[in-house]
C-alpha cells in the first residue's frame, strides 16, 4: 500500500510538471507577435511600433521587384554579371527596379534591427512574451542571410570574396572541442563543418557554379517560404497585415524609390578569383562581423557567431527573472547596458573595417574590456538599485534576481580564469581544457602518469623542437604486427613499446575510460589503413581503452597537459609564460567584483525576507 501511494504521488508530480510546462508554452505561443500585430493601436501614434508593419510592407516590395528581376537575371558564372549590367543599363527602369530591390532589402534589415532594439528597450517581451524576441531575431537573421545570398548573385569582385570568407567559416566547426583533428575518430570522420560548407557552397571551400545555383535557390527560399507561412498565420487569425493608411505606405515606398534613384545600386567590377581585394568587405550589415574575424582566430570567431544569437534569445528570460514586470528601462540597467554595448560594438567595428584599422595585438584587449565592463556595470547598477530598495516585500522577492546576476558574473569570472591561462600559455580553450582535465585525473593515475609524460615529452617536445614521432598517440596502430609488416617500425619504437606498457597500469577511474568507445575499426582509426591487415582483422588494433591513461595519451590530452605545465613554468619553454595584456585585467577583475556585489545583494534581500517574515509573524 505505501508503495502504491508513493507511485501515485510521483506520477502526480510528473503530471503537474508536464501540465505546468504545457501551460507555460501555450501562454507564450498565444502571445506570439510576428509583426507587431498586437500593437496596432500604438502603431497609429508611435512610429517605433509601426516597424513591424513597415517590414511586412517592404517585404512585399522586395518580393515584387525580385520577381521582376528574375525575368532578366541569368544565374551562371559566365552570364550573371552581364545580366546585371543589362538590367541596370539596357532594361527600361531596370536600374530603378534593381535599386528598389536592393535598398528595400536594406530597409528590411534596418526595420528588423530597430524593432529588436525597441523590444528590449520597451520590454515588449513582458509579460509572458519572451518568445517574441526569438521570432524577431529569426526575422532579422533571415533578412541578413537572404541579403548575403543575394549579394553573391551580382558576381562582382567584392561579393565574390566576401562570400568566400564568410561561407567557408563553417569549416572551422571541425576544430571544435569534440570535432577536431586530434580527437575521437568518429568525430573526425563526421566532417560537420566541411559538410556544412559543401551544402552551402556546393564545391567544398570553393566558389563555383554550384555555389551561385544554391545561393540563387536559397535567396528565393528565404524570402518566399517564410512569406507564405506568415500569410497563412495572418489569414488564420484574421489580423490586419499592414495597419498603415495609404499615405504612410506611399511615403515608405517613395523613400526607397528616391534612394534608388539618387544612389543607384553599385555594380562593381567583375569577379576575379586570382586577385584578392584588400580589405575584403561584405555588405554593410555584416561589416562588424568581418572586423571581429580580423581580431580572432577563425574557430573562436565561429564559436562567438553561434553564441551571439543564443545569448539574445536568453536575455528576455534573464530580464524577466531579474526585474519581474518592470518595463522602465532605467530600472532595468542590465538590459540597458547590454543593449548599448551591442549597438556600440557593431557601429565601432563597422567603422574600423571601413577605414581598414585592425591591430590584432593591441585592439582585442580594449574590445574585451569595453564589452565585459559594460555588462558588469549593468549588473552592479541593477544590484545597487535592489540593495537601495526600501520596500521589504519587493526585496524579499529579489533574492532570485541577485542570484541570477551572481551566476552570470561568476560565469564571466570562470572564463576570465580560463583566459588568464590561455594568455599565459597561448593555448586555445580546447587543448587547455584537455590539460586541465588531465590534471584532475592525474592524482588517480599515480606514478604511471609521470612515466608516460616523460616519454611523451621525449617523443613530442613541448619547446617547439622537431618531434621524434608526432603519431605516438596512435601507438596501438604503430605497434600492431600487421602494420609493422606493411610499413615497418616507427621512429622511437622502443619508447612507443614502453609507453604501451605504461598505459596498462590500472587506476580507480579506469571504468570511465573503458565505457568510452574508441570508434576504431578493422581498418584502423578513421579507416586510414585499409591496405593494412591488422593482427585482429575483426576488432582492429585498438578496440577499447585499457585505462584512463590510455585514453589520455591516445587523445593527446597528456601532451596538452605537458605543454600547459611547461609553458606555465618559467625557464622551461623560451618566451613563456606570456604576460597578460594590461587592459584585460579590467574585465577579469570586473566580473569578480560584479559577482561579489550581486552576492551581497542576494544576502541583503534574504535578510529582508527574514525581516518581513518576522514582521508578519508578529502581526499574527
pLDDT-based confidence at 471, cuts 50/70/90? confident
Structure pTM?
0.85
C-beta of residue 58 within 8 angstroms of C-beta of residue 252: yes
Nearest-5° angle of CA 79, CA 81, CA 85?
110
| Residue found under cell 530591390 | 101
Distance of CA 258 to the CA centre of its chain: 38
Higher pLDDT, 53 or 191: 53
pLDDT, position 174: 64
| 270 phi, psi to nearest 5 deg | -60, 145
Which region, left, alpha or beta, applies to residue 12 given φ > 0 means left and ψ of -120 to 50 means alpha? alpha
> Among 182-196, 208-222, 370-384, 541-555, where is mean pLDDT lowest?
182-196
Residue 7 makes CB contacts below 8 A (sequence gap 6+) with: none
* 504-528: average pLDDT: 82
The average confidence (pLDDT) of the chain is 88
Residues 556-581 as b/e (b if ≥16 CB within 10 A, e otherwise) read bbbbbbbbbbbbbeeeebeebbeebe
Whether residue 183 has pLDDT greater than 60: no
* 118-133: average pLDDT: 95
Whether residue 184 has pLDDT greater than 50: no
Other residues' Cβ atoms within 10 Å of the Cβ of residue 541: 26
pLDDT, position 5: 47
Q: How far is CA 62 from CA 52, 108, 438, in A?
A: 15, 9, 56
CA separation for the pair 346, 290 (Å, rounded): 10
Short-list 481, 497, 470, CA closest to 556: 470
CA separation for the pair 520, 136 (Å, rounded): 45
DSSP assignment letter at 470: G
pLDDT, position 44: 81
Whether residue 614 has pLDDT greater than 90: no
Whether residue 524 has pLDDT greater than 70: no
Whether residue 2 has pLDDT greater than 70: no
DSSP assignment letter at 48: G
Write the DSSP string, 98-116: HHHHHHHHHHHHHHHHHHH
HSE of 553, CA atoms in CB hemisphere, 13 A: 34
Amino acid at each position: 500500500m505505501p508503495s502504491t501511494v508513493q507511485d501515485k504521488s510521483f506520477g502526480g508530480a510528473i503530471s503537474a510538471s508536464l501540465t505546468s510546462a504545457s501551460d507555460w508554452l501555450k501562454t507564450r505561443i498565444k502571445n506570439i507577435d510576428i509583426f507587431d500585430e498586437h500593437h496596432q493601436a500604438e502603431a497609429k501614434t508611435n512610429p517605433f511600433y509601426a516597424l513591424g508593419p513597415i517590414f511586412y510592407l517592404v517585404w512585399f516590395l522586395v518580393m515584387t521587384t525580385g520577381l521582376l528581376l528574375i525575368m532578366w537575371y541569368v544565374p551562371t558564372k559566365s552570364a550573371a554579371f552581364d545580366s546585371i549590367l543589362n538590367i541596370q543599363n539596357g532594361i527600361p527602369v531596370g536600374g530603378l527596379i534593381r535599386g528598389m530591390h536592393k535598398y528595400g532589402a536594406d530597409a528590411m534589415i534596418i526595420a528588423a534591427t530597430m524593432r529588436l532594439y525597441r523590444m528590449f528597450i520597451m520590454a515588449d517581451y513582458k509579460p509572458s512574451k519572451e518568445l517574441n524576441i526569438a521570432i524577431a531575431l529569426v526575422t532579422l537573421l533571415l533578412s541578413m542571410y537572404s541579403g548575403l545570398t543575394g549579394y553573391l548573385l551580382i558576381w562582382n569582385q567584392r561579393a565574390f570574396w566576401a562570400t568566400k570568407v564568410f561561407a567557408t567559416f563553417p569549416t572551422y566547426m571541425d576544430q571544435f572541442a569534440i570535432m577536431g583533428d586530434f580527437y575521437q575518430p568518429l568525430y573526425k570522420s563526421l566532417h560537420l563543418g566541411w559538410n556544412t560548407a559543401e551544402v552551402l557552397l556546393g564545391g567544398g571551400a570553393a566558389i563555383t557554379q554550384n555555389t551561385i545555383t544554391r545561393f540563387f535557390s536559397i535567396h528565393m527560399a528565404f524570402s518566399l517560404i517564410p512569406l507564405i507561412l506568415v500569410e497563412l498565420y495572418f489569414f488564420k487569425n484574421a489580423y490586419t497585415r499592414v495597419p498603415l493608411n495609404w499615405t504612410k505606405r506611399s511615403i515608405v515606398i517613395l523613400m526607397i524609390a528616391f534612394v534608388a534613384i539618387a544612389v543607384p545600386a553599385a555594380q562593381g567590377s567583375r569577379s576575379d578569383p586570382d586577385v584578392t581585394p584588400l580589405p575584403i568587405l561584405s555588405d554593410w550589415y555584416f561589416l562588424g562581423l568581418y572586423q571581429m574575424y580580423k581580431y580572432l582566430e577563425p574557430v573562436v570567431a565561429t564559436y562567438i557567431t553561434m553564441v551571439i544569437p543564443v545569448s539574445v534569445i536568453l536575455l528576455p528570460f534573464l530580464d524577466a527573472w531579474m526585474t519581474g514586470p518592470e518595463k522602465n528601462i532605467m530600472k532595468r540597467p542590465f538590459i540597458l547596458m547590454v543593449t548599448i554595448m551591442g549597438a556600440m560594438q557593431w557601429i565601432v567595428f563597422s567603422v574600423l573595417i571601413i577605414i581598414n584599422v585592425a591591430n590584432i595585438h593591441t585592439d582585442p584587449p580594449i574590445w574585451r574590456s569595453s564589452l565585459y565592463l559594460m555588462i558588469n556595470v549593468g549588473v552592479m547598477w541593477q544590484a545597487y538599485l535592489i540593495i537601495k530598495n526600501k520596500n521589504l516585500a519587493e526585496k524579499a522577492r529579489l533574492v532570485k534576481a541577485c542570484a541570477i546576476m551572481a551566476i552570470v558574473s561568476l560565469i564571466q569570472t570562470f572564463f576570465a580564469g580560463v583566459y588568464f591561462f590561455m594568455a599565459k600559455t597561448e593555448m586555445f580553450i580546447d587543448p587547455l581544457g584537455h590539460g586541465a582535465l588531465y590534471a584532475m585525473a592525474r592524482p588517480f593515475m599515480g606514478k604511471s602518469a609521470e612515466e608516460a609524460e616523460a616519454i611523451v615529452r621525449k617523443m613530442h617536445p613541448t619547446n617547439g623542437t622537431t618531434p621524434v614521432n608526432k603519431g605516438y598517440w596512435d601507438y596501438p596502430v604503430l605497434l600492431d604486427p600487421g602494420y609493422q609488416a606493411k610499413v615497418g617500425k616507427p621512429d622511437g619504437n622502443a619508447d612507443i613499446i614502453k609507453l604501451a606498457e605504461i598505459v596498462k597500469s590500472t587506476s580507480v577511474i579506469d571504468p570511465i575510460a573503458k565505457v568510452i568507445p574508441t570508434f576504431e575499426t578493422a581498418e584502423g582509426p578513421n579507416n586510414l589503413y585499409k591496405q593494412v591487415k591488422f593482427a585482429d582483422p575483426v576488432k582492429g588494433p585498438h578496440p577499447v581503452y585499457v585505462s584512463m591513461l590510455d585514453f589520455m595519451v591516445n587523445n593527446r590530452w597528456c601532451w596538452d597537459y605537458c605543454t600547459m605545465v611547461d609553458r606555465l613554468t618559467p625557464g622551461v619553454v623560451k618566451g613563456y609564460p606570456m604576460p597578460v595584456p594590461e587592459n584585460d585585467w579590467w574585465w577579469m577583475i570586473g566580473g569578480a567584483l560584479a559577482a561579489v556585489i550581486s552576492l551581497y545583494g542576494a544576502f541583503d534581500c534574504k535578510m529582508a525576507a527574514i525581516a518581513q517574515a518576522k514582521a508578519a509573524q508578529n502581526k499574527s
